[in-house]
Amino acid sequence: MLKGTVFFTINLLIVLILLSAIHLPFIAQKNHFNFYKKQSQNHAPVVKILSPKNNSVYRWNSQVSYEISVSDKEDGESKYQEINPKEVFLEIKYVNDTSKALDLIKKNDQKDPPGLAAIKTSNCMNCHAFKSKLIGPSFYEITRRYEQVANSVDTLTDHILNGSKGRWGNVQMPSNDKLNASEAKEVIEWIFKNTRDSTVNYLAGTEGSFRLNASANSLKNIILIASYTDHGIKDQPHQNMKGGDLIIIHGK
């Protein structure tokens, strides 16, 4: 009887040990998978307007300097030049009523419209600015010249894709291989729809300056919205995340 009990106990222990040997690696593998999955999740960038300070007051037509910081777990830190400054944007919006600022924050959290998104992720801003001349003409100048031109969207789409020469003096526009035909057309359509609004401007860069638009002095408040869309993770396409910050300054 005693021998039978001992034999049964020994066999039971052997079975339990074998089961553990099979189960424990599975648990370890599962935990490793969860750890890897957690490590592979993209994180939203943290964007902060360092200057000007919220509720600062400036005279109309004065120059306002700005500085923006970006910290992203995957892309890096702007202070270490790990973030491309041309991918950091500042929207300047003149308003009377600031009560809708919260709505603008929510809107900023959403993905950009296709045309603006393509501008931000391409190299357009290396040569162009929205309202001021850079190497090439501003988007505003382009819309003024081409607003009455038949098939202007198709013409300018072709200029983006294949380049142009002699349209703006001696400045030659190189072909753009960062955009396909559909994206180039969306860029032009967005430019025509948005850049002629005198109450809105966009700047690219983590630092720079802008002049308070004196012609907008009937709109006493200026909302500044900084944003950056990260590059996501290689094995998770189309999972880019956007971060932003918003402050309000005032003109007098």
Smallest Cα–Cα separation from 161: which of 174, 145, 142? 174
Average pLDDT, the chain: 83
- Quick: pLDDT tens for 20-58: 544 445 444 445 444 444 557 889 999 999 999 999 999
pLDDT beyond 90 at 92: yes
Q: How confident is the model at residue 13 (pLDDT cuts 50, 70, 90)?
A: low
**Residue 191 banded pLDDT, cuts 50, 70, 90:** very high
Region 161-184 average pLDDT:
85
Mean pLDDT computed over 7-13? 54
Prediction pTM value: 0.77
For 118-159, the pLDDT digits (tens) are 888 888 888 899 998 888 899 999 999 998 778 899 999 999
